[in-house]
Amino acid sequence: MAKLIITAAICGAEVLKEHNPAVPYTIEECAREAKSAYDAGASIIHLHVRNDDGTPTQDKNRFKDVMDAIYKLCPDVIIQPSTGGAVGMTNDERLQPTELIPEMATLDCGTLNFGGDDIFENTENTIKYFGTKMIERGIKPELEVFDKSMIDMALRLGKNGFIQNPMHFDFVMGVNGGISGELRDFVFLRGSIPADATYTVAGVGRYEFPLAAAAIIDGGHVRVGFEDNVFLSKGVLAKSNGELVAKVVRMAKELGREIASPAEAREILGIKVK
Ligand code: KMH
Ligand code: ZN
């Protein structure tokens, strides 16, 4: 079985210091959180950025500053900027971090309700546009799917040349508006991707660690972090993203799965060093 790639989603666009005081906003806080995750065993940092007041931004210069600060502390880590950004942003606003030619970036594969009155909009033409930009820029997409239909969309657009093979999926499970994080649903998603595809699972809230266990056993990969969940265990706030990653590392050890270094993660995902 391949070694386990752990992605840390350190910040997100929605979670606030009110939810957990360790949620990072500033450049220094983002670098601190990325380092804590990297030191604990994460090889990929899924990155959103914020203004110092916590409001989400896709500003290219802010991404560059945060990425430079992370690389200073974690020179070989893979940084995967979000192109999802926050609900309501325009496509070109969202695509800005891809101008920095990161090794990876997210590519969201469908539209969904995103709690309350929000709609996270990703029309077919948007996905084609983002997919084309990522091919042009040599960026490996992490295909974020919040429901089964989004896998079908990715496969169809793949056949039409907008996404290349082998595909790498991220099953984001438990968002209010998307698929739930029940094991039955995990098995459904996992059985719906091509044999040559890889996947990581991001369980939201209480689904984070049960789904991590399922992916560890299954040979998949795992995402944890404040974007998805701020608790280490029921009612206990994590002090850092590193604590969440360390818990996955302990689970993997118990279950006999080794942890991938960033170099090993590149090899598993077919990312060429630039
Ligand atoms: N913040 C969500 C609306 C991504 O990173 O690509 C979208 C999101 C997905 O987080
Ligand atoms: Zn994200």
Residue 227 CA: nearest ligand 1 atom is: 10
Nearest residue by C-alpha to atom 10 in ligand 1? 84
**Residues lining ligand 1, Cβ inside 6 A:** 13-14, 82-84, 86-87, 106, 108, 114, 120, 144
- Residue 47 Cα to ligand 1 middle (Å): 10
Helix and strand counts by DSSP (H, E) for the chain: 9, 14
Q: Considering the domain delimited by 6-269, tell me its CATH architecture.
A: Alpha-Beta Barrel (3.20)
Ligand closest to the CA atom of residue 223 = 2
Structure confidence by residue, pLDDT tens digits, 197-243: 999 999 999 999 999 999 999 999 999 999 999 999 999 999 999 99
Q: What percent of the chain has pLDDT over 70?
A: 100
pLDDT, greater one: 273 or 204: 204
Q: What is the mean pLDDT of the segment spanning 133-152?
A: 98
Tokens of 224: 């944890």
Structure confidence by residue, pLDDT tens digits, 110-129: 999 998 899 999 999 999 99
Q: What is the mean pLDDT of the segment spanning 63-81?
A: 98
DSSP reduced 3-state for 214:
helix
- Sorting pLDDT into bands at 50, 70 and 90, what band is 100? very high
Tokens of 60: 């290219």
Kindly tell me the burial class for residue 72, based on how many C-beta atoms sit within 10 Å of its own C-beta (0-12, 13-18, 19 or more): exposed
Residue 114 CA: nearest ligand 1 atom is: 3
- The secondary structure of residue 54, as a DSSP letter, is S
**pLDDT score, position 156:** 98
Residue ranges of alpha helices (H) inside 27-174 are 27-40, 60-73, 91-95, 124-136, 148-159
Residue 83 CA: nearest ligand 1 atom is: 6
Task: Return the amino acid letter for 234.
Answer: K
Average pLDDT, the chain: 98
pTM: 0.98
- Residue 96 Cα to ligand 2 middle (Å): 15
CA atoms within 13 A on the CB side of 30: 30
Measuring CA to CA, how many Å separate 147 from each of 113, 154, 207, 272?
11, 12, 15, 29
- Residue 159 Cα to ligand 2 middle (Å): 26
**pLDDT score, position 115:** 81
- The secondary structure of residue 4, as a DSSP letter, is B
Q: List the domain boundaries for the chain.
A: 6-269
Long-range contacts (CB closer than 8 Å, 24 or more residues apart) made by 270-273: 270/140, 270/166, 271/78, 271/103, 271/104, 271/140
Residue 172 CA: nearest ligand 1 atom is: 9
Tokens of 66: 């945060």
pLDDT, greater one: 115 or 67: 67
| Whether residue 36 has pLDDT greater than 90 | yes
| Whether residue 274 has pLDDT greater than 80 | no
206 vs 154: CA distance, rounded Å: 27
